[in-house]
Copies of this chain bind each other. A is one copy, B any other.
Amino acid sequence: MPELRKDPVVDRWVIFASGRSLRPSDFASASEAENGERPPCPFCYGNEEHTPPELLAYRDRGTTPNGVGWRTRVVPNKFPALRVEGVLERRGEGIYDRMNGVGAHEVIVESPQHDKELSELPVEDVERVLTAYRERMTDLKNDLRLRYILLFKNHGERAGASLAHGHSQLIATPIIPQVITEELEGSRRHFELKERCVFCDMIDHELRGRKRLVLENDRYLSIEPFAPRAPFETWILPKRHVSAFEEAEPGEYRDLADLLKETLARIRRALNRPHYNYVLHTAPCREPRLDHYHWHMEILPKRNPLAGFEWGSGFYINPTPPEEAAEYLRGLAR
């Protein structure tokens, strides 16, 4: 059973998932060096038995579960950080707190195509990936032990990806993560002061000024945020106030797919195929409708590793003003 531990001073949780010390990538690098052979990709057609049984798959008619013929496929992570079995069982050790690592860890295999980055897929494929996100989030919200569902993507080694085949991941936690707690508190303070959502204010400001605007369509916009942590950090937000990603109308995912695809494609060209993460920031499971919180997606291209100053301060140093990055991205041809 994985274990969750909290730092006794700050709100930082660490997951001890000892099974993950045996991740395939740890051995892959060694065995590749020895014999040059790569293990078969568990996310490609024909290798479905290399993953745990599927939780969800959008399949061609007449195909059978855990065989070929799927378009997007969701499976449990073979080396999960958290596990669905068991009870939380909070307990102490002197000044320290720990609990069982109850949660869920799933992999969304975006398409059968091994080498395609998300922005290279047709828009209907991107829409299907987003729909899979929603379907899994909606299902997991029924488990009352879970407080938050974090949806993210690691693309490339420098972004922490251990497998090359395009995939996203989802980790559901029994605690609301600190990053989200801080956003909820910050946006609540703004609401108490102004009776307005700070993200709605931000959208209004960026659509008027347009200097940090990257792209927009009827329902969504992408911007370089005012204080980006790294060059070309880009956020996508719905224009309409919605707190939770899974509360969007089904038709809205097509517009989102379109904007996400084109935004990623431009970042890809600007930075010459960067490694990147994106993270869905959405409301906690039990509070899907908040006046002060607004779901959004944060895309973070990976350039340099974090250094001591960032670790020790929480400050970031960014050599590229977001206004210049936005202008550059706007200027690229569609």
Contact = CB atoms under 8 A, between A and B. Distances in A.
Given A11-B182, A180-B313, A95 B201 contact: yes
Copies per assembly: 2
A205 B309 contact: no
Given A226-B7, A302-B305, A305-B305, A315 B15 contact: yes
Contacts of A180: 313
B10 A316 contact: no
B8 A321 contact: no
Contacts of A179: 10, 311-314
A169 B313 CA distance: 13
A6 interface: yes
Contacts of A154: 307-308
A270 interface: no
Contact of A305 (B18, B159, B226, B315): B159
B14 A319 contact: no
Interface in A174-207: 177-180, 182-183, 186-187, 190, 198-199, 201-202, 205
Nearest to A170: B309
Given A227-B5, A319-B21, A95 B178 contact: no
Nearest to A277: B308
Q: Could you say which interface size class chain A belongs to? A: 35 or more
Contacts of A229: 12, 14
B313 A8 contact: no
Contacts of A209: 94
Given A94-B205, A160-B305, A316 B12 contact: yes
A1 to B, nearest CB: 13
A182 B10 CA distance: 6
Nearest to A178: B314
A228 interface: yes
Given A5-B226, A95-B201, A227-B6, A152 B309 contact: yes
A14 B227 contact: yes
Given A10-B183, A12-B227, A277 B318 contact: no
9 contacts: A8-B201, A9-B186, A12-B227, A96-B205, A152-B307, A159-B305, A160-B304, A178-B313, A300-B311
